[in-house]
Amino acid sequence: MAPGLHERTNMSRQLRNNTQMLRRGAIYVLPTRTGLVFIAVLAAMLMGSVNHNNNFAFLLTFLLAGILFVSIFDTHQNLTKLEIQAITASPVFLNRTAFFECLIRNHGPKRCSVAFQFPGYPERLLADLAPDSIDCVRVPLKPIRRGVVKPEKMRISTRYPLGLFRAWAFIAVGTDCIVYPAPAPGAFRTDPAPDTLGSGTAPSKARGSADFQGLTAYQPGDPLQHISWKAFSREQGLYVKTFADPSGETITLDWGAIRGAAPERKLSRLCDMVLKADRLGMAYGLALPGQRIPPARGETHKRACLRSLALFGNPEAMP
Amino acid sequence: MSRNSLQQLHLLIASLAVALMPHAFRLPVWVTVWCLACWGWAILCARRQFPWPGAVLRHVLAIAGFIAALATSGFRFDREVGTTILVIMVGLKPLETRTYRDRMMAVFLTYFLIITNLLYSNALIMLPYMLSAVWLTTAVLVHINHPVGGFPAHTKLAGRMLLFAVPLAVVFFVLFPRIQGSLWQLSAGTAGVTGFSERLSPGSVSQLVRNDDVAFRVQFSGNPPPPEHLYWRGLVFSEFDGRGWRSTGQTPVLQPVVSGKRPIAYTITLESRQQRWLFALDLPATVPPRAIAFDDHTLQWKEERTRPLQYRMSSYPEFNTGPRPPEVKMFLLPGELGNPKARQLARQWVSSATGPADVVSAAMAFFRGNGFAYTLNPPLLGEDAIDDFLFETRRGYCEHYASALAFLMRSAGIPARVVGGYLGGERNPFGDYWIVRQSDAHAWTEIWSSNTGWSRIDPTAVVAPERITSGVAAALPPNERAEALSTGLKGPLARVFRNFTLGWDAASSLWRRQVIGYTALRQQRLFSRFGIRTRSSGGVFRLLAAGLLLTGLATWLYVWVSRGRRPSLRDPVKAGYQRFCRKLARCRVPRRPDQGPLDYLQTIRDLKLEQGERAESIIRLYVRLRYAQRGSNEDIRSFSRLVREFRPAPRPS
């Protein structure tokens, strides 16, 4: 009853503040492998002292044992009173490393060599945290598949100061990270075949060779590379260059147009095409089996496309 | 190699060097050269990108080193070889410190090297050495685990850890059960032999005067006896061989026959090693356990002795050894040996005397009246040494006088012998004990009479009475005083130096008695003072409880001290503001983490709290103190008071 109640109040506090404090009881401490070796060395020293009946050697052995003992508390205190206030992660491509940004508030003295790691992933981050301040640490994670990566927990550990003991604690991670497929380079194929949904009639002109038409006021989501920096430098405000599509054509990147490749390969190719189309400022749509995104431009549109590529065929991972 | 790992290598080598230093004076020179060469190589590899030696080369080097170590000792395995092999490994270790694990192992090796030093010397000077070596090594250990940090901060942390480890070490030290004897015995190294030899010849005592080593220390249970009673008996020389006297043919007895009054009790800590003779105040009344007593009132330790020895004694300053006549050898003088003039003189005294007492006083009068001088540098004596001394040179040290007097007495038919030991000593005001040094060595004569048994006759007392009352230096002619080392110091700093030496000696002897001499027996005695009997299971239980309690106390203290008070608490303004926020949070107006003070004020205003105005003034004052200017102490106090008196009403949920 009592622990349940405790947990519930703890949880409600977490929900309210959305922060997690590393409390004393939630931190585990055990000797490291080198710590066990050191204990064996101490045992040998003790044997030697007993054998030679040498009180001075006894004194040194016990002094080292005392240092070992004291280091347990130092290691433990290197983690207590750390408060994880928020964790965010930006989407990432499959062949890149994702970084979970943790906002950590240190309520105590300086922390040294604190390791952040997601269990099951080899990447880790070693960081020092300044006393009584808020730090942002970027914990790396290299995703192994596309889709949604949602690590349940993150391990915060330390073996400072002596490396003889390791203290660790787990904190819940509510954040997920969307992993886009890795872009696979290749020819840009819009393949506006009549049986596809694309309405292109002049594919040679579709390669982004659009003519400059004029300036319109910037709206969030407009591609950054279309901003008219010249106008901005004349202090006229943010404007976006618009291009005339002479044919008014749009393209559709179609799953079905890529033949003879595995599904993941197809997704990678489509990902690459989305990126290229976006870079060229084209209006593009995306057609996946059972899913279709109408042609559009801009950052938001790009993200929506990449996102549906990431989540394709993997509905259970929907965030 | 990166800057960090280069620094780690340097620090590792520094701590290894400190741990090695005392060994460098003991081990063969090539071992030190070996270490320096390997370390230099490692540094070259790290700095100049020399190729690091591979595993094969390292193993070949290690095996070569081990063989060289064994060869140096003649393929015997003892402590020296063990240490040499360890030091060879220490030399090689920095060549493989590229991984974290290797570096950690190097640190453990350093700790191990430090402890081997203590097996060789447990002098007090090793204590500060040991502490600083452990300090440095621990700082290096911290640095290895936090290479990006600054070494000074690591030194500070290591110092703090050491500081708190000391009480724990003391608790363990006192409580850890000691056992008698050792599990197995490696042959111990030999220390220099100083002190008396078993033959007393002219010059054998006076050469000890130049040696300022401590022979033993004495602590009297009651008042110390006057200086003229401070004769420390060691060996008895009863066989004359023409030039010198030999100590031979003692008969062990259970308890020598002696009677006396007002015994003096004291404890002796014997420092000089490799000597089985025990020294005691003339004349010992008791026999310490594990010692053998002889019929000539000398004492010997039963076993080979390699470490300082402590024993309690009691002695009679005035004694009577009873009417039992001495063995016949005490009368003997080898007939074929010369010294005719001395024999003639003795016969002359006998013919004109009524008893042995007259002969003795005639002899003393002879020493008093014929211009005898007390000197450290007597002239060389010829074939008939006693004759030369008595009639030609008349200059000699105590052994000359004691030897001559014993010879004269035997020539006169009175049983006599020479006793070797120490006379006097120096009281250490810092520890209230006496230091007897090798330079206090002395020899005197004993003669036997049927009423009193053996009694002490010291011809030096006649020739140089200052020797008895004021020590060696006072008795010597001024140009020889500097040779009696410590007492010969002059100048303004002599007194300071003297006091320092005595203070150090006091601390040193305390260290030896209380720490090094903390044996199983003393442990039992200490425990029984607290009502803990180690033999009973209840006693063991209590001991464990005491250990846990003391360890727990030390731990609690450590956690409490190093909890690291939150820096914010040191700032009264910040602390006050936090208190204010807590008060409001209890009334369901919590400050969100992203809210600054003015945003928070807005929330409070929107809620139209009862105490809103007070809250507003507190926040305004806080903003002024925090961001506008450093407020005066008066402002800070009034801010604290406002916060203290702020009592918001709970907001209905």
**Among candidate residues B124, B145, B166, the one where a domain is terminated:** B145
pLDDT mean across residues, chain B: 82
Read off the pLDDT of residues B141-200 as tens digits, 9 standing for 90 and up: 999 999 888 899 999 999 999 998 998 899 888 888 877 644 443 333 333 345 677 788
CA dist list (Å): B458 to B278, B326, B357, B361, B381 = 21, 20, 14, 12, 22
Residue indicated by tokens 């007939």:
B335
| pLDDT(A294) > 50 | yes
The average pLDDT across B105-124 equals 89
pLDDT of residue A148: 87
Tell me which residue in A19, A131, A159 faces B567 most closely, judged by beta carbons.
A131
Which H or E run contains B546? helix B537-562
The pair of structure tokens assigned to A76 is: 């433990």
* β-strands B264-270, B214-220 pairing: antiparallel
Q: Please report whether residue B21 resides in a domain.
A: yes
Q: Which of B573, B569, B580, B578 is nearest to B647 (CA)?
A: B580
Question: φ and ψ at A212, to 5 degrees?
Answer: -70, 135
- Looking at per-residue confidence, does B231 or B466 come out higher? B231
User: Which residue of chain A has the CA closest to B124?
Assistant: A56
Q: Please report whether residue B26 resides in a domain.
A: yes
Mutate to test the interface with B, among A13, A36, A63, A132 (most CBs of B within 10 A): A63
Which of the four pLDDT bands, split at 50, 70 and 90, describes residue A197? very low
- In percent, the amount of chain B with pLDDT more than 70 equals 89
| pLDDT(A158) > 90 | yes
CA dist list (Å): A269 to A250, A281, B150, B416 = 19, 18, 50, 118
Q: Which of A263, A271, A265 is nearest to A183 (CA)?
A: A271
Q: Which residues of A touch B517 (CB under 8 A)?
A: 55
pLDDT of residue A138: 92
- Looking at per-residue confidence, does A102 or A241 come out higher? A102
pLDDT of residue A32: 94
Read off the pLDDT of residues B250-275 as tens digits, 9 standing for 90 and up: 788 888 788 888 889 998 888 766 57
ipTM: 0.77
Tell me which residue in A57, A64, A107 faces B119 most closely, judged by beta carbons.
A57
User: Which residue of chain B has the CA closest to A158?
Assistant: B145
CA distance B566 to chain A (A): 6
Instruction: Count CB pairs under 8 A between chains A and B.
Output: 153
Q: Please report whether residue B463 resides in a domain.
A: no
| pLDDT(B628) > 80 | no
Contacts of B39 (CB under 8 A, 6+ apart): B13, B16, B17, B91, B94
Q: Which residues of A touch B172 (CB under 8 A)?
A: 62, 65-66
pLDDT mean across residues, chain A: 80
Tell me which residue in B144, B154, B165 faces A63 most closely, judged by beta carbons.
B165
In one-letter notation, the amino acid at residue B95 is L
pLDDT of residue B537: 66
Q: Please report whether residue B555 resides in a domain.
A: no
**Among candidate residues B88, B118, B145, the one where a domain is terminated:** B145
Contact by Cβ (8 Å): A164, A65:
no
- The A residues from 36 to 55 touching B (CB cutoff 8 Å) are 37-38, 41, 44-45, 47-55
- The A residues from 140 to 159 touching B (CB cutoff 8 Å) are 159
Q: How far apart are the first and last CA of chain A?
A: 33
Q: Please report whether residue B222 resides in a domain.
A: no
**Record: contact B161-A74, CB cut-off 8 A:** yes
Tell me which residue in A34, A58, A77 faces B101 most closely, judged by beta carbons.
A34
Read off the pLDDT of residues B71-83 as tens digits, 9 standing for 90 and up: 887 777 777 888 8
Contact by Cβ (8 Å): A110, A81:
no
- Looking at per-residue confidence, does A15 or B578 come out higher? B578
Question: φ and ψ at A19, to 5 degrees?
Answer: -130, 160
Mutate to test the interface with B, among A15, A41, A50, A62 (most CBs of B within 10 A): A62
Instruction: List, in sequence order, every residue forming a beta bridge with B417; answer none if it has no partner.
Output: B446
Contact by Cβ (8 Å): B441, B208:
yes
Which of the four pLDDT bands, split at 50, 70 and 90, describes residue B502? confident
Q: Which of B354, B366, B373 is nearest to B405 (CA)?
A: B366
The average pLDDT across B290-311 equals 81
Which alpha helices (DSSP H) does A128-262 contain, by range?
229-233
The pair of structure tokens assigned to B333 is: 């003088």
Q: Which residues of A touch B593 (CB under 8 A)?
A: 17, 19, 85
| pLDDT(A95) > 70 | yes
| pLDDT(A283) > 50 | yes
The average pLDDT across A115-138 equals 89
pLDDT of residue B448: 87
Calpha distance B173→B180 (Å, rounded)? 16
**Packing angle between helix B633-645 and helix B572-586, nearest 10 degrees?**
20
| pLDDT(A43) > 90 | yes
pLDDT of residue B305: 66
**Record: contact A53-B515, CB cut-off 8 A:** no
Calpha distance A80→A74 (Å, rounded)? 10
| pLDDT(A196) > 90 | no
CA distance A113 to chain B (A): 6
pLDDT of residue A9: 42
Residue B413 burial (CB count, 10 A): 13
Calpha distance B640→B643 (Å, rounded)? 5
Calpha distance B553→B372 (Å, rounded)? 70
The average pLDDT across A255-274 equals 85
| pLDDT(A231) > 70 | yes
Q: Which residues of B touch A67 (CB under 8 A)?
A: 134, 138, 161-162, 165
pLDDT of residue B653: 64
Contact by Cβ (8 Å): A105, A47:
no
Q: What is the pTM of this model?
A: 0.67
Read off the pLDDT of residues B524-540 as tens digits, 9 standing for 90 and up: 788 888 777 766 666 77
The average pLDDT across A265-285 equals 86
Domain count, chain B: 2
The average pLDDT across B108-137 equals 90
Q: Which of B122, B108, B117, B185 is nearest to A43 (CA)?
A: B108
**Record: contact A37-B105, CB cut-off 8 A:** yes
Q: Which residues of B touch A71 (CB under 8 A)?
A: 161
| pLDDT(A195) > 80 | no
- The A residues from 97 to 136 touching B (CB cutoff 8 Å) are 107-109, 112-113, 128, 131-132
**Record: contact B182-A85, CB cut-off 8 A:** no
CA distance B314 to chain A (A): 28
Residue indicated by tokens 């003295």:
A109
Read off the pLDDT of residues B53-103 as tens digits, 9 standing for 90 and up: 888 888 898 889 888 888 887 777 777 888 888 899 888 888 888 889 999
**Record: contact A73-B111, CB cut-off 8 A:** no
Q: Please report whether residue B133 resides in a domain.
A: yes
| pLDDT(A199) > 70 | no
Contacts of B608 (CB under 8 A, 6+ apart): none
Q: Please report whether residue B82 resides in a domain.
A: yes
CA dist list (Å): B477 to B12, B377, B391, B462, B470 = 56, 10, 21, 16, 14
Contacts of B271 (CB under 8 A, 6+ apart): B213, B214, B215, B216, B217, B308
User: Which residue of chain A has the CA closest to B183?
Assistant: A51
Q: How far apart are the first and last CA of chain B?
A: 64
Contact by Cβ (8 Å): A146, A310:
yes
Contacts of B524 (CB under 8 A, 6+ apart): B534
Q: Please report whether residue B533 resides in a domain.
A: no
Q: Which residues of A touch B555 (CB under 8 A)?
A: 69, 73
| pLDDT(B568) > 50 | no
Q: Is A165 on the interface with B (CB under 8 A)?
A: no
Read off the pLDDT of residues B327-372 as tens digits, 9 standing for 90 and up: 766 667 766 667 888 888 888 888 888 888 888 899 999 988 888 8
Most confident of A45-59, B149-163, B447-461: B149-163
Q: What range defines the domain where residue B610 resides?
A: 567-645
* β-strands B214-220, B433-437 pairing: antiparallel
**Among candidate residues B118, B145, B172, the one where a domain is terminated:** B145
Which of the four pLDDT bands, split at 50, 70 and 90, describes residue B104? very high
Most confident of A167-181, B246-260, B306-320, B479-493: A167-181
Q: Which residues of A touch B567 (CB under 8 A)?
A: 109, 131-132
